[in-house]
Amino acid sequence: MDGINPADAAAPLQPIATADHGQPAGNSSEPSTVALHDATPELTERVEWALGRFEAAGLALPPLDITFHATVNGCHGHTGYFQLEAGIADIEVCMPTRHIILHELAHAWAAVTLTSATRADLLRYWELDNWNDQGVEWNLRAGERVADTIAFALNSIPSDPQASLLK
């Protein structure tokens, strides 16, 4: 993941279907890999950038259904929210920074990629006892550590890290 050229990571996975802002829905004869809801052109570009980062790293994602919200109410009080439903990653984004988008996409990747054995290995490595117990502090959930590790690895950090994280 180190050394990914941002120019190489700019190409989005295709097709991208969007709703609510009149963006092109791609070739209708192909199944949609990504559906975006309430995405402005800027947010669509941010998702395309993030998808390009996953593609450049060789991390395959499941079908995605991404919705943007103006408040954390749409994300169960969090900055983002993920759940896998019938093989489709349902992602809610309430703070649409590059980091949050990468983090939620990382949950989707982990949900369909990590085996039970790998999850158990990560729990032992981090000396944790749960993967995603919502009753446990965020930083003590292995699933959150995986998502954050991937998000940080895929995000290009400029000389001012805060500028990149808050974009």
Q: What is the value of pTM for the model shown? A: 0.76
Question: What are the helix (H) ranges across 66-139?
Answer: 98-113, 116-125
Cα–Cα dist 34/51, whole Å: 10
Average model confidence (pLDDT) for the chain? Answer: 80
141, 128 Cβ separation under 8 angstroms: yes
Q: Give residues with Cβ within 8 angstroms of 26, minimum separation 6.
A: 14, 15, 16, 17, 32
pLDDT at 70 over 60: yes
What confidence tier does 135 reach under pLDDT thresholds 50, 70, 90? confident
What number is the average pLDDT over the span 123-142? 90
> Looking at per-residue confidence, does 65 or 17 come out higher?
65
Q: Give residues with Cβ within 8 angstroms of 114, minimum separation 6.
A: 122, 146
pLDDT, one tens digit per residue, over 7-47 is 333 333 344 443 433 333 333 333 358 999 999 999 999 99
What number is the average pLDDT over the span 46-67? 94
